Amino acid sequence: MGIECKSDLIKVNNKVYPCTVSLAMDLVGGKWKVVMLYHLKDTGKRYSELGKDMPGITERTLSLQLKQLEEDGLISREVFGEKPPIKVIYSLTDFGRSFIPVLDAVLGWGNQIALQKGEFVNKPLKGI
């Protein structure tokens, strides 16, 4: 019997989940969270750098999901300076770094799909 079958429900931080997969997906689910974690895998980044790494994300989504990842303990937000302009760096916490093997597996799977079923294309120039 796996750990996911030890009980009917799992309670973490006052949230109740029906299974461990549901718990994990609450932390990293959605279109952008795993992508954000991937871009923070090797180094901390500023908000604007993350936005440039993910050209399809809206400002609102970037802001909301960064806050969620921080609240869930996957990333940290470090503020440098006391008055504007201040510098804010987002980086993986130890808990966030524990997700790196999953990121590597997702990257490998995505690479495999791209090679087998896709094609690499150049970015279109802006305004065209």
**Residue 65 pLDDT exceeds 70:** yes
Q: pLDDT per residue over 79-90, tens digit each?
A: 998 888 789 999
Longest dimension (CA), the chain: 57
**What's the whole-model pTM score?**
0.85
C-alpha 123 chain-centroid distance: 23
Q: pLDDT per residue over 7-63, tens digit each?
A: 788 898 889 999 888 999 999 998 999 999 999 999 999 999 999 999 999 999 999
Check residue 85 and give its pLDDT: 78
| Residue 46 backbone class (left: φ over 0; alpha: ψ -120 to 50; beta: rest) | beta
CA gap 28, 21 in Å, rounded: 11
CATH numbers and ranges of domains, the chain: 30-116 (1.10.10.10)
Helices (H), the chain: 20-28, 33-39, 47-53, 59-71, 94-97, 100-117
Q: How confident is the model at residue 124 (pLDDT cuts 50, 70, 90)?
A: low
- SS3 state of residue 117: helix
DSSP state of 128: -
